[in-house]
Structure 1
């Protein structure tokens, strides 16, 4: 090493925090801490745990990550519930993003609502009807929430957006693919999410009349993604209504379901089969 050169272990802590916060939680917990003392200290700092994305890790007990974790930390059992407790504890309340995997439970979400009060981005897995009833209550704890991603529209969607309106004054982005969107849903967005800037309803059942209502009533929308939807085609009326939206994505959307029936005539049938 030439004179004046610096090794990786001599990097400023602030730089390490920025780099480590962008790594996967698997590397942050089982690789980085074992490189050197300075990296170990940085990997344990809460600033390195600001993005809690659990979706890229295999949490099955027989996975390579589970085996490596048990070996390094000398524990006999490994579980997702145990790892999320570790991650939330390491973040010390500084986490700004939480991306939960399909195996997460509502108990994990309750834990996050207590340990991650500064969340700005939250992605939830599919939930049962019973679990959905707790989401509006939990959302009221995240005052700084800006983005919410749902696997599909919850049964209590209207109640959910009311809570967002009352408690999350910075909320601007909703991702809710694979949903059946009706007029009441759109009117709820108009009334309770007037500052919405980005809306993702890809792969949804979205009739043309509801799409036009969104384009007309969500006046601050800068991005609307309705790719691969069923219920409308990009005709001249749709283009005209959507022209004010900076980014309008509707590739792959069509009027007719693959089964061959017209959506405007068979709404209830479609809702039953999706």
Structure 2
């Protein structure tokens, strides 16, 4: 009796757990558009909720810090937008896409890292910020890293609801948003006691430094690059946030005597970025 030899692709021989560990190191775009369509074993492995836990490639131990705090913008190398920046004019389009991600992540409990802007509507369209935030608050209780980048229309109530529901938050990005004022920082501090990193670029609120040091005196990572921070605010931050390990003030045009502050701060803060 002659036995037929069946060829097997190398990937088919890998156990699903090995494939899952590999897929977690790929971009969210590949997980959406490519991996599930290669073969049945890849599709099966990519259906595991933990494959959808993060919207960035989990390639390094500090990859979350890089993506949510240290990259110049969320459009950096750590994050690849699965929708290629094509925001829809239909508010429900982004909601449906986020719902799909939540379903793939086992109902959302597995999600730990989330970028907000790919799901938002285009600038001239009706906003869907609050509806997206309600989904996050309802389905993502274990969220650790969140970027609000690009959101302008969320209500304070919707933002507060996320903070009250997602109490595991550690890293948060307020860049290119108006959501970094006193009541927001106070609520974030009260609800999310594990916050260790904040990014806020562009225009800073007048009381930003005072509020930040009041509500987050144990902050470890801060990126205010390309912001309107001034010397006095920088001095307030480096003297009152005594556990800072990382500070980025690159491109801050309103800093004048910042080198004097850097010389003082560098004795205690291991990593300071400036130009």
Per the TM superposition, whether the score is higher than 0.5 is yes
Partner of residue 30, structure 1: 33
Residue 151 (structure 2) pairs with residue 127 (structure 1): yes
Partner of residue 148, structure 1: 172
Aligned 1:104-253 pairs, distance under 5 A? 104=120, 105-128=129-152, 131-152=155-176, 154=178, 157-182=181-206, 184-233=207-256, 236-243=259-266, 244-251=268-275
* Residues 184-205 of structure 1: per-residue CA shift (max 9 Å, x gap): 2212112211221000001111
Are the structure 2 counterparts of residues 79 and 129 from structure 1 closer, same or farther at C-alpha, using a change threshold of 3 Å? closer
**Number of positions where the alignment pairs a residue of Structure 1 with one of Structure 2:** 231
Are the structure 2 counterparts of residues 39 and 129 from structure 1 closer, same or farther at C-alpha, using a change threshold of 3 Å? closer
Q: Structure 1 runs of 4+ off > 4 angstroms?
A: none
TM-score, structure 2 normalization:
0.75
Partner of residue 94, structure 1: 110
Are the structure 2 counterparts of residues 61 and 179 from structure 1 closer, same or farther at C-alpha, using a change threshold of 3 Å? closer
Residue 15 (structure 2) pairs with residue 12 (structure 1): yes
Secondary structure of 2:55's match? strand
Q: Which runs of 5+ in 2 are unaligned?
A: 1-7, 57-79, 121-128
Deviates more, 1:166-175 or 1:120-129: 120-129
Query: What is the alpha-carbon root mean square deviation over aligned residues?
Result: 2.5
Could you tell me how far apart the structure 2 residues matched to 1:186 and 1:61 are? 33
Are the structure 2 counterparts of residues 44 and 199 from structure 1 closer, same or farther at C-alpha, using a change threshold of 3 Å? same
Are the structure 2 counterparts of residues 95 and 56 from structure 1 closer, same or farther at C-alpha, using a change threshold of 3 Å? same
Q: Which runs of 5+ in 1 are unaligned?
A: 63-77, 252-274
Could you tell me how far apart the structure 2 residues matched to 1:156 and 1:235 are? 23
Are the structure 2 counterparts of residues 240 and 204 from structure 1 closer, same or farther at C-alpha, using a change threshold of 3 Å? same
TM-score, structure 1 normalization:
0.76
* Residues 78-134 of structure 1: per-residue CA shift (max 9 Å, x gap): 933222111111102101100122652221121122111111100113333653453
Are the structure 2 counterparts of residues 178 and 236 from structure 1 closer, same or farther at C-alpha, using a change threshold of 3 Å? closer
Partner of residue 255, structure 1: none
Structure with the bigger RCO (C-alpha within 8 Å, sep 6+) is 2
* Residues 223-269 of structure 1: per-residue CA shift (max 9 Å, x gap): 00010002213555213332221111111xxxxxxxxxxxxxxxxxx
